[in-house]
Amino acid sequence: MLTALACLQQVMLAAGLGGWLPGYQPWPYLLAAAPLWLLARPWEDLTDEPVGRVPPADRLRRVPAWTYLLGVLLLAAGVWAALQDHEPYIGHEEAVYANKARSWLNGTPDAGWGMYRPVGLPALGALALALHNDVGALRAVALILALFTLTATYLVAARWTTPRRAVVVVLLLLSGLGFLRRIPEFLNDIGATGLLLLVVFLLVRAQEKKGSRALLAVPLVALAAFYLRYGVVGNLAAVCLAALLAYGPRAWAVQGRRLLAAVAIVIAGLFPHFVYATKVAGWPLGLVFSATAQANRAYVGDGLVYYLAIFPYRLAGDLGAVVMGVGVIAAIAAVRRVRRARAHELRADDRRRVFLGTTALLVFVILGFATDGEPRFVYLSVVLLTVLGVDAVAELTGRQAVRVLTAVATLAALTVLGTAQVVAHGAMPGPTRLAASTVPAARQLASPGPCLVVTGYEPEVGWYSGCDAVTYAQYKKMRVPADTEVSLLLFERGRLQPGPAGLKRLIGDREPLIRRIPTQGSLGTATVLTLR
């Protein structure tokens, strides 16, 4: 009954009838149904098909796995395109990287940029803007990064399981709200996840294939992930610690020269970063710690509390949450087998499962203490637990695995469409309503000469006005060039803006030119005070 309700719910969501749900959020019916389903073990009651009849699942197996992967990638691209209309304006984080990309391309101000930001995404953005100078070009970079990560997930999962199970993994990943929400946006988290997954794969290969040189490729991929997103340091720390715990120090010590060479490559690759960080932040790790210091947390560890509160439903959706839960159980079972088995009885896949499961859980812990919690920070954990979960479901259901995984894949494909509706009508309206205030105001502030806008929405206002933009706190500490036009931008319901007394102190004895700009957005009417 609960499973039927879950399927019906996704059908209604996909059809655009999710308005009856509070906040457009689907109910987690499958999380309640999964334990009952496991106890009932319905797959054991399935009888074989009559002789001479080809079961539908077997007919589906005749289609090459790469064909299904292509279908998933096309589905992802279609969802990306459909969601662009629901969030047509770039948001706060996107605008930070967009401004830097445009700054490198044509010298405009990089409003909102901080020294703790990584350079990889703006570099990709600058290339895109050189081809076509608009938001669509930047969002196309997001699509390419998403397709890269989905493809990497398939290729890695196919080596650890089977190609068809890997297709199920990719569908489940795409169907999750935490992942699908960020696919349309010009951000670096999804692309960094694909690179991190390759790091994990190469470490596994270094242990499972005798004489493998995979360890020498690890630093190259890890460096690419680092320069794309500095925040992967926490993920990489979790990966390294998990590798040490799962395989043991001796297993890595025997790598000898390859291990030393990998360390040397990492140090050489980080040398330019260390030089720059020492120059601007005072010491080699200054930028990394500066990025951590930007965390919007109430106390140390509130990120971990957040992850515990949303795990696993808010990370992967109803169906993905069930599979992730099975993945956790599979990892724990593998740990027990490894602890009980003798050295010569150990299976390579059990060691791998311990490594993957330990990595996934350590990512939550390390990032939970290092920064605030967001689903996009822990995509690596979602991928690894989904891989473990799909493999465990296949082993649990035995001869009926094909039918069960076919049903899971079918529901996952339907869930992708349902989740897209949740994103479009539940998650995107808030940012879009905010942009309906900031964008019209910013566009009216465009100036042919040097201009500076002081506002609580500096990155997006900087992008759409073409001016430099800073917060009110930053403006109080800066010296503005004499030939720069300064405008104070306030909204009727704005954030981080001064009250009447504070505004009077900022204006001083100057006579400002006051303009009011009506907007249809959530911030209400904009007031612009241009200081002369």
How far is Cα 69 from Cα 64, in angstroms, rounded to an integer? Answer: 9
Confidence of residue 458 (pLDDT cuts 50, 70, 90): very high
Identity at 85, one-letter amino acid code:
D
Place of tokens 């489940």: 172
**Spatial distance between the Cα atoms of 169 and 391, rounded to a whole number of angstroms:** 9
Q: Is the peptide bond before 440 cis (omega within 30 degrees of 0)?
A: no
Q: Strand order in 485-491's β-sheet?
A: 468-470, 451-454, 485-491, 526-531, 513-517
Low-confidence winner among 44-53, 128-137, 265-274 (lowest mean pLDDT): 44-53
Q: Which of 12-16, 146-150, 310-314 is predicted least confidently?
A: 12-16
In the predicted model, is pLDDT for residue 436 greater than 90?
yes
Using alpha carbons, list the distances in angstroms from residue 249 to 186, 254, 331, 429, 432. Answer: 40, 9, 20, 50, 51
Please tell me the distance from the alpha carbon of residue 67 to that of residue 158, in angstroms, as a whole number: 14
170-199 confidence digits (pLDDT tens): 999 999 999 999 999 999 999 999 999 999
Asked if residue 53 has pLDDT above 60, the reply is no
Position 16 scores a pLDDT of: 82
User: Amino acid identity of 332?
Assistant: I
Q: Which helix (H) or strand (E) holds 268?
A: helix 257-281
* Range of lowest pLDDT (46-50, 259-263, 296-300, 404-408): 46-50
Cα–Cα dist 422/313, whole Å: 14
Distance CA 227, CA 99 (A): 18
The yes-or-no verdict on residue 50 having pLDDT over 60 is no
Contact (CB, 8 A) for 98 and 436? no
Judged by DSSP in three states, 516 sits in strand
Q: What is the pLDDT of residue 532?
A: 73
Nearest to 106 by CA among 125, 78, 83: 125
pTM for this entry: 0.94
- Alpha-carbon span 2 to 212, nearest angstrom: 48
Distance CA 216, CA 229 (A): 21
With cut-offs at 50, 70 and 90, classify the pLDDT of residue 17.
Answer: confident
Kindly give, in sequence order, each residue whose CB lies less than 8 Å from that of residue 477, ignoring residues fewer than 6 positions away. Answer: none
Please report where in the chains the tokens 């019916």 appear, as a residue.
29
Residue 323 has pLDDT above 60, yes or no: yes
- When pLDDT is averaged across residues 152-175 and rounded to a whole number, the result is 97
- Mean pLDDT value of segment 229-239: 96
- The closest of 422, 330, 368 to 235, measured between CA atoms, is 368
Confidence of residue 19 (pLDDT cuts 50, 70, 90): confident
In one-letter notation, the amino acid at residue 183 is: I
State the maximum Cα–Cα separation within the chain, in Å, rounded to a whole number.
94
Q: Which of 298, 278, 271 is nearest to 115 (CA)?
A: 278
Mean pLDDT, the chain, as a whole number? 91
60-71 pLDDT, tens digit per residue, is 777 888 999 999
Look at residue 428 and tell me whether its pLDDT is greater than 60: yes
| b/e per residue 498-511 (b: at least 16 CB within 10 A) | beeeebeebeeeee
Is residue 310 scored above 70 in pLDDT?
Answer: yes
Query: Angle at the Cα of 133 (from 130 to 134), degrees rounded to 5?
Result: 140
- Look up residue 53 and give its amino acid: R
pLDDT for position 398: 85
pLDDT of residue 4: 80
Distance CA 437, CA 443 (A): 11
* pLDDT tens digits, 192-203: 999 999 999 999
Q: Is the pLDDT of residue 33 over 80?
A: no
- 487 - beta bridge partners? 453, 530
Q: Give dist(CA 242, CA 57) in Å, integer.
A: 37
CA 382, 387, 391, 397 torsion-angle sign: positive
What are the pLDDT digits (tens) for 341-362? 765 567 768 999 999 999 999 9
Q: What are residue 490's DSSP bridge partners?
A: 527
Q: How far apart are CA 452 and CA 465, in angstroms?
A: 10
Quick one: pLDDT at residue 45? 58
